[in-house]
Structure 1
Amino acid sequence: MGGHISKQVEKRKSISTEKKTLVDLKESCGCDFPGADYHPSDRKNWMAGLDLGKLTINKIVWPGTHDSATNKIGIPFISRPFAQCQSLSIYEQLVKGARVLDIRVQEDRRVCHGILKTYSVDVVLDEVEKFLSETKSEIIILEIRTEFGHDDPPDFDKFLIEKLGDHLIHQDDHVFDKTVSEVLPKRVICVWKPRKSAAPKKGGRFRSAGYLKDNWIDTDLPSTKFESNLNHLADQPPVSSRKFFYRVENTVTPQPDNPILCVRPVTDRIHGYARLFIKQCCERNIADRLQIFSTDFIDADFVNACVGITKARIENI
C-alpha cells in the first residue's frame, strides 16, 4: 500500500513538472508564427476562403479530431467520461473546421472506442454527406479503421462505395501536388484500414494504411508527448516530397497508474498548447513537415491556428 501511494505521489510530481515545462516554454518564446493572426471569417468554408488555385493538398495543415465519433459513446456520467474524446457531432466538427476524421468501427458497423460502442457508422457518413451538400470546396480526409480486438465489418468497402462513391478521390500519388481546384468536384480522401480483410489496392477508391501514418505516444505526461511529437515529426520528410499523410496528435491519454482516468481533464494538460507546438515547429525548422494536426475536443482556436499556417504557406510568408 505504501509503495502504491509513493508511486502516486511521484506521478503527480511528474505531471506538475511537465505542465510547468510547457507553461515556461510558452512564456519564453510565445506563440507567434506565420499566419498566427489569421482568423477565417467562416470556418465551415475555410478552404473556400483561401486561394484554391494555389492550395495544394500537401500544403494544407489539416485540423483533425482524435476518436471523432465518440460524442455519444458509453453511458452518460458513467462510462462516457472514460472514452469520450469529442463533445461535438461529426457534422458540428466539420462546421467548426475539422477536415480529418478518425473513425473506429467493429464488425456490426457500429463506431467504438475499445470495448465501448456508440451509433452506427451510417450516422457518421450521413453527417459527412450533409456537410458536403452544404459546401462546395471543402476536402475531407476520412480515416476509417477496424478497432483493435474486433473483426472487420463484412463487405465494408462495398458499403462505403454505396455511401460515398460520388465523392471519393481515387488513390493517386499525384494528388498531393494537385490544388484543391484541380481535385474538385471530388471531395473525400478515404483511408480504409481493415484488420483482416485485404488492404485497398493502388488506383482504387480507397487508400491503405500506408497513406496515413503517425507515431502514437501513449502517455499522460504533456511535455513528454509534446517533445516526442516534435522529435517524430523531425524524422519525417518535408510535405513537398511525401506521398503519404503524417499525423501529429495534440493529445495525452489517461493511464491506469494514475487515479484520473477521465479523458477531458487529462487531455486538457496539452490541449491549450497547439499554437505553441506550431511555433516550435517553426523555431526548429520542421514546419515544412507538419501536415495533419489532430486534437481532442476540437475548438475554434485550434482550427484558426491550422488555417493560419496553411494560408502563410500558400502565400510564402
Structure 2
Amino acid sequence: MSGEFNLIETYFVGRQTQRCDVLLAAGDDCALVEAPSGYSIAISTDTLVSGTHFLANANPGWVAHKALASNISDLAAMGATPAWVSFALTMPEVDEEWLAPFCDRFFALADQYGIQLIGGDTTKGPLSLTLTVQGLVPKGEALRRDGAKEGDEIYVTGSLGDSQAGLDVILNPTNAGKPNARVLEQRHYLSSPRIKVGEALRGIASAAIDISDGVVSDLGHILKRSSVGAEVDVEKLPVSAQLVEFVASRESALQYALISGEEYELCFTVPEAKREAMWQALADVDCVITRIGQINNSGTLTLTKDGQAISWQLSGYDHFKSN
C-alpha cells in the first residue's frame, strides 16, 4: 500500500500509554510482551470482511467497536483479562475519512479495557480487518466449554435477540420504520463484552461460551464438548421491551433470542452448590444475569414452554451475505 508507513505512523502509533508488560511494540519485526508469573495467555483471532460481517457504508466507528468487542468477548468467555491486540488492516485505498473515526473508536474501546495495540500490518485489497487479542488468566482457572455436568444451572448475561433485529434493519430498509429500529441497529454493532462477569466466574462456572452464533448453537457447543444434554425454558429467555415492540409479539421475540448471533453475551453453567457463590461474586458487576435452564444427561437440547416440550422451526444465524 502506498504510504503504508506514513499511514501506520499517523493513525496507529503513539496513541496509547504503554503497558508495563509490553517490552516492545510497533517498530520492529515482532512485539515483545511479558506475562506475569502464574498466568496463562488466552489468544483469539477473528476476521471481519466488508460485505460479510458489515456493509461497506456502515459507520466506521461502529465497525471498529464491533471488530474489537467481538474479540474481547472471546476473552470474557475464558475468564481472561484483556491485555494486548495486534491488527491487520486491508483496504482498497487509503481513506482518511473512514480511518479517522474508525481509529478514534478503536482506541477508545481498547483503552476502556486496558488493551494495548502491539503490532499488525496494512496492505491493499478488499476491505477486511483481522484482530488477534490476548489476555491473561491465572493458571488453571480459565473457563472452558467441556466442564458442564448434570444438574448444573444454565445462565446468560444481558438480553438476547436485539442483534438479530438490528441486522434485520440493516439488511432490509423497510424495517427502518418499525419501533426502535435505530436503537436495535446500534445494539447490533455496539455490544458490551462481559469481561467483569468472566473474571468473577473463575473457579465458579463449570463451562462458558460467548454467544456469537445464537444461544441454541452456542449452548450446543457446550453440550457437545461436555457430553451432556440440557433443558431450556424459553419463557425465561431475557428479551428487551424494544425487541418485543419491534417484532410485535413476545413469542417472536423469544424465537429471536434463541437464534440471534453476534450478541457477545455469555452463556455459562454453574453447579447448584456454587449458586450462592456466583451471586456473591457478581454482586458488584453491573450486568443482568438470568437462569434459563439446567444441564441433564439426555445428550440433546430440549426447549420447553409452560412445562411442555416444544419444537419451533428456527433458522440459524448467518452473517451478512455478499451482494
Please indicate, yes or no, whether the TM-score normalized by the shorter chain is above 0.5: no
Rg larger in structure: 2
**Highest relative contact order (Cα 8 Å, sep 6+), 1 or 2?**
1
| Structure number having the greater strand percentage | 2
Shorter-chain TM-score tier: under 0.3
TM-score (norm 1): 0.26
